[in-house]
Amino acid sequence: MKKIIFSLLLALAALCAAGSPRSSFAAPVGRVFEINVSHHTGEDNSWHRACVFFKQYVEERAGGRIRVKIYPGDQIGSEVETIHSILTGGPADMTLTGESMQSVVPEMGILAVPYLIASSEELNRVAKGAVGRKLEELLAAKANMTVLGYFERGARNVTANRPIRKTADMKGLKIRVTASKVTMTAMSALGASPMPMPLSEVQDALRRGTVEAQENPLAMVKTMKFYETQKYLSKTEHLRSWVYIVISKSKLDAMPEDLRNLIIEAGKEMQRVEHEMFVKEEEDLESFLEGEGMTIVGDVDRKAFAAATLRDMEAALPPEVRPLYDLIRSGKY
């Protein structure tokens, strides 16, 4: 009798194994974390390609526990709207941001002060030094954002349908700028009429004549195809700064330690990969823009521009920005 029962049990086990879905015996996967990355550049920009690298790096190593979705070109909202989204818990979780953060963290206005940083080498020393560390602490404390790394921005230049060589050439120029009080003050000091608006709206505004000019690094001039509406790129090189790779601190803290460490590691790798792309592309951008019909104006009186903007800026700096400004000017960053 025992042999019969044992045989029946074996047969039943075999039947269950053959007929039941494989997932019935699989271990539970657990919670899957979704990270929505929002940024305002196009898909050919090195920032976007670095985000794609981040997605691949994380998903390949997370064992199905993290899904990364990327929304380029202001699909979730403008940079300011994306910042608000992260602050309020969604839908964006991660972005690339710089001086636009000063509405939440006033000290971030240091990233918009013209002619403060003279070279790429100095920029990286500042970003990695005391100034950079202070900004990272403030983003965590005031904006609930964890910094994963930063991307160097190329020098910002003015594009227009007339050459800009002297400060007098800026007089009355309706120029689009970021939503930064510091930037607007600088442009006003040069006699221009600064008009803040989201990057995604600029090309249409140039076509309509709402604005006559804009200022951006070479890479953004290419990505946003400003060469289609602007004849001249004048190398004012008025601003060198960076953007932070930030993620919602609440989102990151909700993950188990191994996944948090993976995200932090991926951010460092993302910064490294983007910098390699940035260095290579900067060498080719002027040739590309000239090939698209733009005239590159190199003989800009940058000393006069610097003198005009810094004179007014020192008086207009917000009190929160002044200590960081003084630190950079002293060279003790």
Domain 33-330 has CATH 3.30.70.260: no
The predicted structure's pLDDT at residue 29:
55
Residue in 83, 87, 194, 142 with CA at minimum distance from that of residue 320 = 142
CA atoms of 97 and 218, how far apart (whole Å):
18
The tokens of 327 are what? 């630190």
| 266-325 confidence digits (pLDDT tens) | 999 999 999 999 998 888 999 999 999 999 999 999 999 999 987 777 887 889 999 999
Residue in 50, 38, 108, 104 with CA at minimum distance from that of residue 76 = 38
End-to-end CA distance of the chain: 87
Give the predicted TM-score (pTM) of the model: 0.82
**Phi, then psi, of 66 in degrees rounded to 5:** -135, 135
| 201-215 confidence digits (pLDDT tens) | 999 999 999 999 999
Q: What string of DSSP letters covers 115-175? A: TS--SHHHHHHHHHSHHHHHHHHHHHHHH-EEEEEEEEPPPEEEEESS---SGGGGTT-EE
Which strand ranges, in their side-by-side order, compose the sheet holding 213-216?
193-196, 174-177, 213-216, 156-160, 232-239, 295-297
The strand pairing partners of 246, in sequence order, are 95, 147
| 78-129 confidence digits (pLDDT tens) | 888 999 999 998 899 999 999 889 889 999 999 989 999 999 999 999 999 9
The predicted structure's pLDDT at residue 18:
38
Nearby residues of 251 by Cβ (< 8 Å), 6 or more positions away: 33, 35, 93, 94
Sorted by where each begins, the domain ranges of the chain are 33-330
CA atoms of 247 and 92, how far apart (whole Å):
9
Which segments of the chain does DSSP mark as H helices, in order? 2-19, 46-61, 79-87, 120-128, 130-143, 181-189, 202-208, 218-223, 249-253, 257-291, 302-316, 322-330
**Phi, then psi, of 297 in degrees rounded to 5:** -100, 110
The predicted structure's pLDDT at residue 11:
42
Is the pLDDT at 6 greater than 50? The verdict is no
Nearby residues of 133 by Cβ (< 8 Å), 6 or more positions away: none
194-205 mean pLDDT: 94
